[in-house]
Structure 1
Amino acid sequence: MTLQLDPAAQNLLFREARTANAFTDEPVTEEQVQDVYDLVKYAPTAYNQQPLRIVLVRSPEARERLVRHMNEGNRAKTAAAPLVAVLAADNEFHEELPAQFPAFPQAKEVLFGERPAREASAGFNAALQVGYFILGVRAAGLAAGPMTGYDADAVDKEFFPDGDHSVLAVVNIGKPGENAWRERGPRLAYDEVVTTV
């Protein structure tokens, strides 16, 4: 093997990991979420912009507000998941750039220029962070059920009324329950994806 990650970790994070559609009622603790974030905060982003923002939907009232904006097929599982995270890109991320940002003067036009350029940058880089977030959930021994089946405009207005955030995914999180998995779909082979030039 050329991989340094041991086979058990490879299976946990990749080969045996699946999108969960049902969960036990075991709660997901604040400590677990903090541990996940302490891993995933190291995701690569252009100029270290870190545009991902996470809203943990814990209260019954907030859950109800979210569920009504989910597509019909996602409502029951979102209502029943131990924890739901709304993951969004902060389109005004430049207001929270880390102290080391002055080391990247060439980025000012993109990051401090017109809003459409910032939105494109925020969306791409936050999407990278979403992928890391899902791996972090798996690393904690939990299952993730990421979804894009919702009314994005309504979720933005409901949870980000400032108009400065764009929802990217809603992720159900918890221990997988009975019949949590659908049959795994096929994956493309290496030769179907990779070209050498």
Structure 2
Amino acid sequence: MLDDTALDTVFRTARSYNGYTDQPVAESELHAIWDLMKWGPTSANQLPARLVWVTTDAAKQKLAEACSAQNKPKILSAPVSVIIGMDTNFHEHLPELFPHTDAKAWFDGNAELRAASAFRNSTLQGAYFIIAARMLGLDTGPMSGFDAGVVDAAFFHDTPAVRTNFISTLGHGDPASVYDRLPRPAFEKFNTIA
């Protein structure tokens, strides 16, 4: 079992940040996040997430234009933003990623099943991204509040099977940018043991 420091870092004292310090994020840190998060489990090792690491001013401006008024300044001021996309043609990679059976055949000709699986498993991978970033000493600010069609057209126009799931900012969080800790319900409120 991990100690309380690790549990606090990943969950109990971790926060979603609305702003960051001026400390930069190195490209090697982006690779380190991926090299950790890629080990998180997905159904049949689908790994449908496709990440765009938004680091340049031009790319930040393009992404910010697709965001709500509240989220636009967060994108523009964060050292990095990450678009967590989902590849609805993930099944094409299953012969390599899940080689012990013909898992690709499960999804061939079934766009609805692929879309549901891509959404579910890329969301899992997005959560692994958040956890990996926290474990590596970085902070995140996951968000909705954007026009997915605009993001898709701007960043996934060459890969039409990839669609945006959600966006997150990334950096070293500014403690002044977080809200007071919001409540979390007790186990009994939302859980049933059957």
The amino acid of 1:88's aligned partner reads: G
Tell me what 2:136 maps to.
Answer: 140
Tell me what 1:150 maps to.
Answer: 146
1:95 deviates by 2.1
User: Does the alignment pair 1:190 with 2:187?
Assistant: yes
Alpha-carbon distance in structure 2 between the residues aligned to 1:178 and 1:99 = 43
The amino acid of 1:114's aligned partner reads: N
User: Does the alignment pair 1:165 with 2:162?
Assistant: yes
Q: Give me the TM-score of the superposition, normalised by structure 2.
A: 0.94
SS at match of 2:70: helix
2:126 to 127, 130, 155: 130
SS at match of 2:40: coil
Q: Give me the TM-score of the superposition, normalised by structure 1.
A: 0.93
Q: Tell whether the 8 Å contact from 1:49 to 1:98 is kept in structure 2 after alignment.
A: no
The amino acid of 1:139's aligned partner reads: M
Q: Percent identity?
A: 36
Q: Which runs of structure 2 are paired with 1:75-94 in the superposition (5 Å)?
A: 75-94=72-91
2:65 to 68, 73, 78: 68
The amino acid of 2:101's aligned partner reads: F
SS at match of 2:72: helix
1:117 to 105, 113, 138: 113
Tell me what 2:26 maps to.
Answer: 29
CA shift digits 1:61-83 (9 cap, x unpaired): 11111001001100111100011
Tell me what 2:2 maps to.
Answer: 5
1:99 deviates by 2.3
Q: Tell whether the 8 Å contact from 1:48 to 1:98 is kept in structure 2 after alignment.
A: no
1:163 deviates by 1.8
The count of aligned residue pairs is 193
Runs of 4+ in 1 over 3 A off after TM superposition: 107-110
1:59 deviates by 1.3
Q: Tell whether the 8 Å contact from 1:65 to 1:158 is kept in structure 2 after alignment.
A: yes
1:47 deviates by 0.9
Q: 1:117 to 1:20 in 2, by over 3 A?
A: same
Q: CA RMSD in A?
A: 1.4
The amino acid of 1:97's aligned partner reads: L
1:178 deviates by 4.7
1:98 deviates by 5.1
